[in-house]
């Protein structure tokens, strides 16, 4: 039963969405039709009527000149006001309409139900007290139904809705009476009951067509679909399914030519309900083949109806077209899940549905797409084919094979949508690429046993995923270069699709790098920041080349994260396994400094591509590069002397400690001096300010920390070096004063 609930929900949702879309288009068409009629016909007629008085009557001319508003505009304004007034219903009209709906329709419907209930209570009282014989009870019910039908037919000439309601009530009395004669009193056999109920249904259908009444036709077919629940012929498979096929054929035929889409929706729901009853009751496993054959025939009739509706578009039948197109395969699949015993059989069912839609797409697209609106129909069935084939692949395959299958399908759907200029299929391909990305992110990609680094099954899978994302980006990138009128996709959808492809590409490559490092590099955490930094600079360089901002904004956090990981993870390293001044810590810091310099240079070269807030990132990378070198150099010096303290005797520890402090201060001073020189000759304000700050920190360190425990020799060395460097700094500022002022003023 849960499948039926899901089917009804999907069917109702699809129908409501298509109804809303149709109503919106009708409103737009109506508004575009009304506006010209007001602005052209009525206004021109008004101007023609007032033309003669303006020319021949002096009083009017005098009045016009004395007034600020020309008389010619006044009739037009008055006409427009009258039209607006006429088109907007007053509160009284609105209240009267509401009152009519409440009193005329709602109360009538409640009244009909009340009459039926009253008759039912009376009959039950009569039955319980044996006041009326069984045959008389059935006869009275039929007579009462005939009276209601007659009264309804008579009143329908002046009160159509009210009369139709009475006719429906009369037909209901006939249904109840015949069913009571069969089920409660056993006055007639099942075959005769079936014939009688069928005749009542046929009569009600004829009356509905005669009166052109949608409510009555709905009531008629509701009785037809209820009949299998009332009579035992539903126990016989052939009888039941032949009956369903005949009823559906009649309903679809009438719905097609009377433009009653609700009848098609109701018949699909009724058929699904009967099929669920069959599967839940008489069905057995040995009836699988005939059951699936009958079900296929029934749902092929819905597919054929949808196909015909797209061919003959002159009947304004748009709502039910899309409804049948999408609801039919979904309902067929969900209804047959119960009789599929294994996951592979469910996958086969989904694959067959998908391949049927794909074959029909090929036939229609390459042979009949010029007929009616079959071009749109073919795009819709290709959309459904993709979904079902993807589902079949997901149910049958697993691991890397599933990822590769979905990857190829996503790329194919995006490209097919691009070739066919079909937005829905291109966006479906993008959606499938998102599914692929989520799978490799949360489920992962397996690595075969005995695999080698990079050149393995996982690497091939991730390479194909990367190529898929790049292909999707290329399709939408070149499509976005076209004018909006020439493109089959709007700007927002194209930009979103490109961004998804960019995120997927970078995410897949970064995941690939991490997986390979984790699986094949010993102590991979030491090399991870270096790999991230190299990845970041490649992405940033490519982003400038392809003129895309998003890759840079994704690469910036990766490099910053690499710096943070380097700081915390490589604070302490084993000098035995990692020789001083020749280890991953110093290598990573130097590479980071070089990369930051390259990023700053690229930003300068391609400054026209930078976003508004991107220029501030330049200073961030200048700071990161310098801090990385100072941090790594400082740790190398500290580690070297700390190792000496462990190896050498205790009496030399004071000397080594003092040497460590002085060496560290000299390193900072030399680095600051080099930065100042670069800042002056390269005209870098940041380099000069950074050097000045480092000078200040070093001076405080020497005066407040280094000299506190130093001997006179080390104090002499510290202050002499500090003094010489500061004198050089001061001379540089005097020597290059004009140069500094020149580019400082220019930068301002």
- Give how far Cα 401 sits from Cα of 395, 408, 500, 515, Å: 12, 11, 23, 18
pLDDT at position 361? 93
C-alpha 69/C-alpha 67 separation (Å) is 6
C-alpha 442/C-alpha 433 separation (Å) is 14
State whether the Cα torsion 184-185-190-194 is positive or negative: negative
pLDDT at position 562? 94
Q: Which residue has the higher pLDDT, 6 or 479?
A: 479
Taking each helix axis as running N to C, give the angle between helix 491-520 and helix 423-438, from 0 to 180 degrees, rounded to the nearest 10.
20
- Residue 500: count other Cβ atoms within 10 Å of its Cβ: 19
The per-residue pLDDT of the chain, averaged, comes to 77
Kindly state the average pLDDT of the residues 202-223: 77
- Among all chains, which residue has been given the structure tokens 């009304």? 34
- Among all chains, which residue has been given the structure tokens 């296929």? 296
pLDDT at position 188? 79
Torsion from C-alpha of 231, 235, 241, 247, nearest 10 degrees: 10
> Is the pLDDT score of 393 beyond 70?
yes
DSSP at 131: -
pLDDT band, very low/low/confident/very high, at 46 (cuts 50, 70, 90)? very low
Taking each helix axis as running N to C, give the angle between helix 343-367 and helix 318-335, from 0 to 180 degrees, rounded to the nearest 10.
150
Q: What does pTM read for this prediction?
A: 0.67
pLDDT band, very low/low/confident/very high, at 108 (cuts 50, 70, 90)? low
Asked whether the beta carbons of 181 and 142 are under 8 A apart, the reply is no
How many residues does the structure list for the chain?
748
What are 278-335's pLDDT values in tens digits?
998 889 889 999 999 999 999 998 898 888 878 875 555 566 777 888 899 999 999 9
- Give how far Cα 54 sits from Cα of 44, 57, 364, 544, Å: 15, 6, 65, 69
pLDDT band, very low/low/confident/very high, at 449 (cuts 50, 70, 90)? confident
> Is the pLDDT score of 353 beyond 90?
yes
> Is the pLDDT score of 678 beyond 50?
yes
Of the segments 45-49, 245-249, 647-651, which one has the largest average pLDDT value?
Answer: 245-249
pLDDT at position 569? 82
Asked whether the beta carbons of 83 and 42 are under 8 A apart, the reply is yes
> Is the pLDDT score of 354 beyond 90?
yes
Q: Which residue has the higher pLDDT, 537 or 138?
A: 537
- Residue 27: count other Cβ atoms within 10 Å of its Cβ: 10
> Is the pLDDT score of 60 beyond 90?
no
C-alpha 227/C-alpha 233 separation (Å) is 9
> Is the pLDDT score of 269 beyond 60?
yes
Asked whether the beta carbons of 509 and 439 are under 8 A apart, the reply is no
pLDDT band, very low/low/confident/very high, at 99 (cuts 50, 70, 90)? very low
> Is the pLDDT score of 59 beyond 50?
no
pLDDT at position 716? 61
H or E stretch at 19:
helix 2-36
If you write DSSP's letter for every residue of 610-652 in order, what string do you get? Answer: --TTTHHHHHHHHHHHHHHHHHHHHHHHHHHHHHHHHHS-GGG
Asked whether the beta carbons of 216 and 208 are under 8 A apart, the reply is yes
> Is the pLDDT score of 456 beyond 80?
yes
- Give how far Cα 530 sits from Cα of 420, 558, 566, Å: 45, 11, 9
Q: Tokens at residue 118, please? A: 């009253």
What are 636-662's pLDDT values in tens digits?
888 888 887 776 666 567 778 778 887
Pick from 496, 500, 327: which is nearest to 410 by CA? 500
C-alpha 379/C-alpha 365 separation (Å) is 9
State whether the Cα torsion 100-103-107-108 is positive or negative: negative
pLDDT at position 1? 46
pLDDT band, very low/low/confident/very high, at 681 (cuts 50, 70, 90)? confident
Q: Which residue has the higher pLDDT, 88 or 462?
A: 462
pLDDT band, very low/low/confident/very high, at 409 (cuts 50, 70, 90)? very high
Pick from 659, 647, 637: which is nearest to 580 by CA? 637
**Helix (H), strand (E) counts: the chain:** 28, 0
Pick from 211, 249, 217, 243: which is nearest to 230 by CA? 243
Range name among 37-51, 193-207, 629-643 with the lowest pLDDT average? 37-51
Q: Which residue has the higher pLDDT, 148 or 503?
A: 503
What are 594-635's pLDDT values in tens digits?
999 999 999 989 989 998 878 788 889 999 999 999 999 998
Asked whether the beta carbons of 465 and 436 are under 8 A apart, the reply is yes
State whether the Cα torsion 247-253-256-259 is positive or negative: negative
If you write DSSP's letter for every residue of 240-272 in order, what string do you get? Answer: HHHHHHHHHHHHHHHHHHHT-HHHHHHHHHHHH
């Amino acid at each position: 039963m849960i499948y039926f609930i899901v089917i009804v929900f999907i069917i109702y949702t699809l129908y409501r969405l298509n109804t809303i879309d149709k109503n919106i288009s009708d409103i737009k068409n109506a508004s575009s039709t009304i506006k010209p009629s007001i602005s052209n016909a009525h206004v021109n007629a008004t101007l023609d009527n007032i033309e003669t008085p303006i020319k021949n009557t002096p009083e009017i001319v005098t009045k016009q000149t004395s007034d600020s508003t020309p008389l010619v505009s006044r009739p037009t304004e008055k006409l427009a006001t009258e039209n607006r007034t006429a088109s907007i219903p007053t509160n009284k009209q609105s209240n009267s309409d509401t009152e009519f709906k409440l009193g005329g329709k709602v109360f009538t419907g409640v009244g009909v139900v009340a009459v039926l209930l009253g008759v039912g209570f009376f009959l039950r009282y009569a039955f319980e007290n044996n006041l009326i014989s069984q045959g008389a009870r059935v006869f009275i019910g039929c007579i009462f139904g005939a009276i209601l039908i007659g009264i309804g037919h008579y009143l329908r000439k002046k009160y159509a809705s009210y009369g139709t309601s009475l006719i429906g009530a009369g037909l209901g009395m006939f249904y109840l009476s015949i069913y009571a004669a069969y089920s409660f009193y056993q006055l007639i056999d099942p075959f005769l009951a079936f014939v009688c109920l069928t005749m009542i249904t046929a009569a009600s259908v004829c009356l509905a067509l005669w009166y052109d009444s949608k409510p009555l036709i709905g009531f008629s077919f509701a009785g037809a679909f209820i009949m299998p629940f009332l009579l035992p012929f539903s126990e016989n498979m052939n009888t039941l399914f032949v009956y369903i096929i005949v009823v559906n054929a009649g309903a679809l035929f009438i719905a097609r030519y009377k433009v009653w889409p609700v009848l098609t929706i109701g018949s699909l729901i009724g058929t699904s309900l009967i099929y669920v009853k069959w599967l839940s009751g008489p069905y057995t496993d040995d009836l699988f083949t005939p059951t699936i054959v009958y079900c296929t025939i029934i749902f092929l009739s819905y597919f054929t109806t949808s196909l015909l509706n797209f061919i003959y578009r002159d009947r304004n039948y748009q709502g039910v077209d899309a409804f049948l197109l999408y609801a039919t395969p979904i309902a067929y699949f969900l209804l047959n899940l119960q009789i599929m015993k294994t996951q592979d059989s469910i996958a086969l069912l989904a694959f067959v549905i998908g391949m049927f839609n794909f074959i029909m797409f090929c036939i229609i697209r390459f042979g009949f797409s010029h007929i009616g609106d079959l071009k749109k129909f073919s795009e819709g069935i290709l959309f459904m084919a993709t979904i079902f084939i993807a589902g079949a692949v997901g149910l049958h395959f697993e691991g890397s094979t599933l990822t590769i299958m979905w990857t190829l399908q996503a790329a194919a759907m995006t490209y097919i949508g691009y070739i066919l200029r079909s937005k829905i299929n291109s966006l479906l391909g993008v959606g499938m690429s998102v599914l692929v990305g989520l799978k490799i992110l949360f489920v992962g990609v397996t690595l075969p046993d005995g695999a080698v680094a990079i050149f393995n099954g996982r690497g091939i899978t991730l390479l194909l995923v990367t190529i898929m994302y790049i292909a999707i980006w290329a399709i939408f990138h070149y499509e976005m270069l076209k004018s909006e009128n020439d493109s089959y996709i709007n700007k927002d959808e194209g930009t979103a699709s490109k961004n998804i492809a960019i995120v997927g590409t970078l995410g897949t490559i970064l995941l690939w790098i991490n997986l390979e490092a984790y699986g094949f590099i010993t102590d991979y955490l030491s090399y991870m920041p270096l790999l991230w930094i190299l990845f970041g600079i490649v992405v940033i360089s490519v982003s400038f080349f392809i003129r895309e901002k998003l890759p840079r904004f994704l690469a910036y956090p990766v490099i910053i994260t690499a710096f943070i990981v380097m700081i915390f993870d490589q604070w302490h390293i084993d000098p035995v396994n990692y020789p001083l001044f020749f280890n991953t810590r110093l290598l990573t810091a130097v590479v980071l400094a070089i990369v930051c310099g390259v990023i700053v240079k690229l930003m300068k070269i391609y400054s026209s591509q930078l976003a508004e807030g991107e220029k501030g990132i330049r200073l961030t990378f200048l700071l990161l590069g310098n801090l990385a070198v100072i941090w790594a150099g400082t740790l190398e010096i500290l580690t070297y002397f700390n190792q000496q303290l462990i190896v050498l005797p205790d009496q030399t520890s004071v000397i080594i400690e003092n040497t460590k402090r002085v060496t560290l201060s000299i390193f900072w001073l030399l680095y600051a001096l080099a930065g100042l020189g670069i800042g002056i000759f390269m005209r870098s304000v940041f380099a000069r300010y950074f050097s000045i700050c480092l000078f200040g920190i070093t001076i405080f360190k020497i005066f407040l920390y280094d000299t506190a425990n130093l001997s006179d020799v080390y104090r002499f060395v510290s202050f002499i070096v500090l003094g010489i460097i500061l004198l050089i700094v001061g001379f540089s500022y005097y020597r290059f004063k004009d140069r500094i002022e020149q580019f400082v003023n220019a930068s301002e």
